[in-house]
A and B are shown apart, each in its own frame.
Chain A
């Protein structure tokens, strides 16, 4: 059917780009230790961009099985939109070889019958019930998902690429209630089918965190050296990254205008890498057919690159970094793949002092001024080997200052979804 649509488009005197997808996923929700919601979704569709005399038109249709008439109408409608639209058309990428990335597809996930996935979810629920048995004060919940996605991109410059990927994710949530309340959560995603033990670990981690959160008290105001665990640092990096998106740079919504500026302490190196084997943010080619790349954004404190799709790369006069993110319903826009904070040389394992584990509310921060005030979901103070948890404080600061005040970076990194980071020692303020 895609070939037929290409045939129709080739008869028109336009430039065109097709993005198609077909996905299937099963997901399961466990509440109060019981499997309560199971679902199976099917989704497919085609997004079409048409360039005509410097203008761009876009529309999409759902489903991949259409008759000739529907396809002709779809092509006609999009061409017409390009004719009346005032969206400037900057051109589509030309043919390039996709990146070689291993481990993005696991046949076992693609082939798993729904009944078997359901049985795993039921076993997961039973495991959760079993773990709950000895812990009266706890309420446990969790979710599990499996998905497979086939997708392709073709354009009038000769690109024709297709690929498939799989995914699996697990999340758990634990609440401990007694004279007070504590909560803990855990999330992880993967490209391949995980052994059952991985699910058990997810429950144990949430339970452990809920207990710590239960014990936590408010910390008196503090200013000075503090250690950010990967999850807390992710929130800070997210605020910083907004300034590296090519569209924000081009449109005056970024703090930065040119490469080469000193933006952080020399301890920090920040990379966007679509080529990590088995990475949940990895891809061989992006939403426009450009190859996935490893892009150094900040190298030992110096700004080295921006995140770009084809449009903003052309506008800024540099090459695309292969960071066009999309689905069939949307036009491509700049996004991240895997974000990696390079490990440093310090062992921060036996750090003593204030540690921030999790924060929330980062979307209330101001990315361009850099100021943030985040609620501390969980932190702890280590003193003489003794661990004293805290919460209900706020971590406040300025992302650019904090980046400049990074004192040390841990040796080993931890992965949460598509974010990889070691522990980071910086200077901050808790109120």
Chain B
């Protein structure tokens, strides 16, 4: 390690590199998947690799997973940076020296693979039931130990554990098939799963899948919609979060470019990204640029007050980096990414909200989404929904997808609930995959529903 620091210093002098940073990462992970009672994967692996970034007005990056190539990777990144000669700027801070660890009460590293297998089998058997044609269970855990150092003299060692369990059931009947699934996860140890009532949630998923077989297709067109906390989470992540990532602001592509300080939503809306929330799936201590993670208010009382930034976009926009430069692994360059994104609670009860809706939909659960940050258009899927008529919940609908214009929907919010929940672990893709979490309370707004009727 000390040798690598010396090598890096020497090469930086030789190639006249303004700034460099090096990440050496070790990940120990286990993964088990089971389908219809049959174990499909059981793997335990450890991987070490190095990623080096050098800056000379533009970035050079090189990575290797054969540590015998570590010095070569350092030299390659610096050579590329020297070759590139751009005129961008980056934020240079004071050196940080730290060692930090996200705690596990009960470490999954100390557990036998047999115990993890027993859990997977238990979930599989709990999912059994008539008219269920498929049961799938997936368990994964991993500890990421990362050593970060840069040319400013920072040396940061972090240890971040992550655990995740998800399961799905496919119900078959009446010529139709429907899936329902549930995930649990966080930056925590085995204790996270011990706290999950598996009997309740497996029965819940099974019943939902069966009920969806009876559900009808939703109507299409523009409607009042009440989103549940899970859907509020994906909505705020897709519709607002991505547009607030400063790399798309830098290129002028984001619909939020140049809008800092402007009111872009209703006054009641406050949106936060906070990677420091204890135990959440998208939490971390330092980002992959050696900047400490911190809570960022993106929208405060309806006004756009912050972008999510990294070293480069912060310098460009005259802001401070707020610890949102994240990389999928040592093998990738950091990009501006979210951590845990959520809508702050308001003061509406669900019943009051419901009473506001003459004809609309109550949409529940996240089936993923996508956004076009330039046009400000988003789409996302809900696991299920219900028709609302004159303030009353009526029949169930299936395969609901919503679409809308970011700024229109933010301005159309009519009510924000009291009930905040942030426990919807998932992965967000943007050329790279990183773990994230999101959530919020129930929210009433208007959107286009892509139904079949």
Q: Does A155 interact with chain B (Cβ within 8 Å)?
A: no
Q: Is the interface of B mostly helix, strand, loop or mixed?
A: strand
Binary interface profile of A, 399-425, with partner B (CB < 8 Å = 1, else 0)?
A: 000000000000000000000000000
Shortest Cβ distance from residue A181 to the other chain B in the assembled complex, whole angstroms? 6
Please, how many angstroms separate the alpha-carbon atoms of A252 and B172 in the complex?
A: 9
Partner of A39 from the list B48, B60, B170, B368 (CB cut-off 8 Å) is: B60
Contact call B178/A364, Cβ cutoff below 8 A: no
Q: Does B36 interact with chain A (Cβ within 8 Å)?
A: yes
Partner of B452 from the list A36, A86, A87, A371 (CB cut-off 8 Å) is: A371
Contact call A366/B178, Cβ cutoff below 8 A: yes
Knowing A87-B39, A364-B380 are in contact, say whether A39-B65 is a contact too (CB < 8 A).
no
Shortest Cβ distance from residue A37 to the other chain B in the assembled complex, whole angstroms? 5
Binary interface profile of B, 30-50, with partner A (CB < 8 Å = 1, else 0)?
A: 000001101111111101110
Shortest Cβ distance from residue B96 to the other chain A in the assembled complex, whole angstroms? 24
Q: Does A169 interact with chain B (Cβ within 8 Å)?
A: no
Contact call A114/B134, Cβ cutoff below 8 A: no
Q: Does A34 interact with chain B (Cβ within 8 Å)?
A: yes
Contact call A252/B399, Cβ cutoff below 8 A: no
Which of B68-76, B277-285, B354-362 is near enough to bind chain A? B68-76
Query: Given the complex, which residues of A lie within 8 Å of B374, measured CB to CB?
Result: 175, 181-183
Q: Does A126 interact with chain B (Cβ within 8 Å)?
A: no
Contact call B251/A118, Cβ cutoff below 8 A: no
**Which chain B residues in 66-84 approach chain A with CB under 8 Å?**
66-69, 72-73, 76, 80, 83-84
Knowing A63-B66, A141-B251, A182-B375 are in contact, say whether A394-B176 is a contact too (CB < 8 A).
no
Q: Does B140 interact with chain A (Cβ within 8 Å)?
A: no
Contact call B68/A85, Cβ cutoff below 8 A: no
Q: Does B421 interact with chain A (Cβ within 8 Å)?
A: no
Q: Which residue of A lies closest to B67 (CB)?
A: A63
Query: Given the complex, which residues of B lie within 8 Å of A255, measured CB to CB?
Result: 177
Q: Does A221 interact with chain B (Cβ within 8 Å)?
A: yes
Contact call B134/A397, Cβ cutoff below 8 A: no
Contact call B117/A86, Cβ cutoff below 8 A: yes
Query: Given the complex, which residues of A lie within 8 Å of B172, measured CB to CB?
Result: 252
Please, how many angstroms separate the alpha-carbon atoms of A31 and B220 in the complex?
A: 38
Query: Given the complex, which residues of B lie within 8 Å of A103, measured CB to CB?
Result: none
Please, how many angstroms separate the alpha-carbon atoms of A295 and B21 in the complex?
A: 48
Q: Which residue of A lies closest to B133 (CB)?
A: A252
Shortest Cβ distance from residue B102 to the other chain A in the assembled complex, whole angstroms? 25
Contact call A43/B331, Cβ cutoff below 8 A: yes
Contact call B83/A38, Cβ cutoff below 8 A: yes
Please, how many angstroms separate the alpha-carbon atoms of A57 and B45 in the complex?
A: 12
Query: Given the complex, which residues of A lie within 8 Å of B39, measured CB to CB?
Result: 85-88
Please, how many angstroms separate the alpha-carbon atoms of A100 and B268 in the complex?
A: 64
Please, how many angstroms separate the alpha-carbon atoms of A220 and B118 in the complex?
A: 55
Q: Which residue of B lies closest to A41 (CB)?
A: B63
Shortest Cβ distance from residue B193 to the other chain A in the assembled complex, whole angstroms? 20
Partner of A368 from the list B68, B83, B179, B221 (CB cut-off 8 Å) is: B179
Please, how many angstroms separate the alpha-carbon atoms of A225 and B59 in the complex?
A: 49
Please, how many angstroms separate the alpha-carbon atoms of A41 and B372 in the complex?
A: 29
Q: Which residue of A lies closest to B212 (CB)?
A: A369
Contact call A41/B331, Cβ cutoff below 8 A: yes
Which of A186-194, A265-273, A284-292, A373-381 is near enough to bind chain B? A373-381
Query: Given the complex, which residues of B lie within 8 Å of A221, measured CB to CB?
Result: 220-221
Shortest Cβ distance from residue B221 to the other chain A in the assembled complex, whole angstroms? 6
Please, how many angstroms separate the alpha-carbon atoms of A85 and B38 in the complex?
A: 12
Contact call A391/B83, Cβ cutoff below 8 A: no
Q: Does A5 interact with chain B (Cβ within 8 Å)?
A: no
Contact call B220/A394, Cβ cutoff below 8 A: yes
Contact call A364/B65, Cβ cutoff below 8 A: no
Please, how many angstroms separate the alpha-carbon atoms of A64 and B331 in the complex?
A: 17
Contact call A36/B59, Cβ cutoff below 8 A: yes
Please, how many angstroms separate the alpha-carbon atoms of A396 and B399 in the complex?
A: 11
Contact call A115/B83, Cβ cutoff below 8 A: yes
Partner of A62 from the list B66, B80, B400, B448 (CB cut-off 8 Å) is: B66
Query: Given the complex, which residues of B lie within 8 Å of A329, measured CB to CB?
Result: 45, 47
Please, how many angstroms separate the alpha-carbon atoms of A173 and B36 in the complex?
A: 44
Knowing A43-B331, A394-B220 are in contact, say whether A369-B178 is a contact too (CB < 8 A).
yes
Contact call A394/B448, Cβ cutoff below 8 A: yes
Please, how many angstroms separate the alpha-carbon atoms of A177 and B308 in the complex?
A: 22
Q: Does B255 interact with chain A (Cβ within 8 Å)?
A: yes
Partner of A374 from the list B42, B63, B379 (CB cut-off 8 Å) is: B379
Query: Given the complex, which residues of A lie within 8 Å of B346, measured CB to CB?
Result: none
Knowing A35-B84, A431-B450 are in contact, say whether A252-B48 is a contact too (CB < 8 A).
no
Q: Does B376 interact with chain A (Cβ within 8 Å)?
A: yes
Contact call B69/A42, Cβ cutoff below 8 A: yes
Contact call B84/A373, Cβ cutoff below 8 A: no
Query: Given the complex, which residues of A lie within 8 Å of B451, measured CB to CB?
Result: 373, 396, 431
Contact call B80/A39, Cβ cutoff below 8 A: yes
Contact call B375/A213, Cβ cutoff below 8 A: yes
Please, how many angstroms separate the alpha-carbon atoms of A242 and B405 in the complex?
A: 30
Contact call B368/A366, Cβ cutoff below 8 A: no
Contact call B405/A392, Cβ cutoff below 8 A: yes
Please, how many angstroms separate the alpha-carbon atoms of A181 and B375 in the complex?
A: 6
Please, how many angstroms separate the alpha-carbon atoms of A88 and B38 in the complex?
A: 8
Knowing A175-B252, A371-B398, A397-B452 are in contact, say whether A36-B58 is a contact too (CB < 8 A).
yes
Query: Given the complex, which residues of B lie within 8 Å of A42, measured CB to CB?
Result: 62-66, 69, 72-73
Knowing A364-B401, A377-B372 are in contact, say whether A39-B177 is a contact too (CB < 8 A).
no
Knowing A364-B367, A371-B398 are in contact, say whether A394-B403 is a contact too (CB < 8 A).
yes
Query: Given the complex, which residues of B lie within 8 Å of A39, measured CB to CB?
Result: 59-63, 80, 333
Partner of B368 from the list A65, A363, A369 (CB cut-off 8 Å) is: A363
Contact call B379/A364, Cβ cutoff below 8 A: yes
Contact call A371/B217, Cβ cutoff below 8 A: yes
Contact call B381/A365, Cβ cutoff below 8 A: yes
Shortest Cβ distance from residue A22 to the other chain B in the assembled complex, whole angstroms? 9
Contact call A87/B40, Cβ cutoff below 8 A: yes
Query: Given the complex, which residues of B lie within 8 Å of A31, measured CB to CB?
Result: 250-251
Q: Does B2 interact with chain A (Cβ within 8 Å)?
A: no
A-B pairs, top 5 by smallest CB distance, nearest first, are: A373-B450, A364-B381, A252-B133, A373-B401, A63-B66
Task: Given contacts A36-B88, A41-B63, A64-B66, list 17 more A-B pairs with CB under 8 A.
Answer: A32-B250, A37-B333, A38-B58, A38-B61, A40-B62, A57-B42, A59-B44, A63-B66, A81-B42, A87-B39, A175-B253, A175-B374, A369-B399, A373-B379, A375-B377, A429-B220, A431-B220
Return 23 A-B CB contacts under 8 Å, by A number: A38-B84, A39-B62, A41-B64, A43-B65, A62-B47, A62-B66, A64-B66, A88-B39, A114-B80, A139-B253, A175-B251, A175-B374, A177-B252, A252-B133, A253-B170, A361-B380, A361-B381, A363-B370, A365-B401, A372-B401, A373-B400, A392-B375, A392-B405
User: B interface vs A, CB < 8 Å?
Assistant: 35-36, 38-45, 47-49, 58-69, 72-73, 76, 80, 83-84, 86-88, 113-114, 117, 133-134, 136, 170, 172, 176-179, 217, 220-221, 250-253, 255, 331, 333, 367-370, 372, 374-381, 398-401, 403, 405, 448, 450-452
